[in-house]
């Protein structure tokens, strides 16, 4: 099964209504077309359902086929995402939430003074191919690409 993301993450595979009814050991009602295309949908809690193809494809995209808007939405909800077009392995971006802290070490100690309250704005960081974490700025290519996907937690 392939992973899909919309307003929630789930797994799905193509399955006609007739195949779904057979899968559930249900008889097919005479007023339904068993050849209607759709998807067997499995949710993280193991619940299964069937969705007509046009409804499903309007609501979900397969993992690895998101645009940057979808990726940004996922980041805002705690996901780590990456592009298949990036050259390095194990690279991904993630949200660093804002915070407030008091200065207690360099280089801020020399600049702002000890115990100065700092309001640290939320931002997006990247884990690079060599494992370091750096601030990340989106390129025009990244913004216009449709190869974004969720990176599972290690």
pLDDT digits 0-9 by tens, 112-121: 999 999 999 9
Residue 107: how many other CB atoms lie within 10 Å? 8
Q: How many residues does the chain have?
A: 154
Q: Tens of pLDDT along 33-58?
A: 999 999 999 988 889 999 999 999 98
Q: Tens of pLDDT along 68-107?
A: 998 999 999 899 999 998 987 889 999 999 999 999 999 9
Whether the pLDDT of residue 6 is over 90: the answer is no
Compute the average pLDDT of residues 106-112. Answer: 96
Residues above pLDDT 70, as percent of the chain: 98
The answer to whether 73 touches 87, Cβ cutoff 8 Å, is: no
Averaged pLDDT of the chain: 92
Residues above pLDDT 90, as percent of the chain: 74
SS3 80: strand
Rounded to the nearest 10°, the torsion over CA 8, 14, 17, 19 is -120
Bridge partners, 80 (sequence order): 151
User: Is the N-terminal amide bond of 88 cis, ω within 30° of 0?
Assistant: no
Q: pLDDT value at position 7?
A: 66
């Amino acid at each position: 099964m392939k992973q899909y993301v919309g307003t929630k993450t789930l797994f799905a595979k193509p399955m006609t209504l007739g195949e779904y009814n057979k899968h559930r050991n249900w008889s097919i009602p005479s007023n339904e077309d068993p050849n209607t295309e759709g998807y067997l949908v499995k949710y993280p809690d193991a619940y299964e359902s069937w969705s007509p193809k046009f409804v499903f494809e309007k609501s979900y995209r397969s993992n690895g086929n998101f645009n940057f808007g979808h990726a940004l939405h996922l980041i805002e909800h705690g996901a780590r995402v990456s592009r298949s077009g990036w050259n390095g392995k194990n690279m991904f971006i993630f949200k660093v939430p804002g915070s407030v802290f008091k200065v207690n070490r360099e280089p801020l100690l020399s600049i702002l003074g000890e115990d100065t309250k700092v309001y640290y704005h939320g931002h997006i960081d990247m884990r690079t191919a060599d494992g370091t974490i750096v601030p990340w700025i989106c390129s025009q290519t990244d913004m216009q690409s449709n190869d974004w996907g969720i990176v599972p937690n290690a």
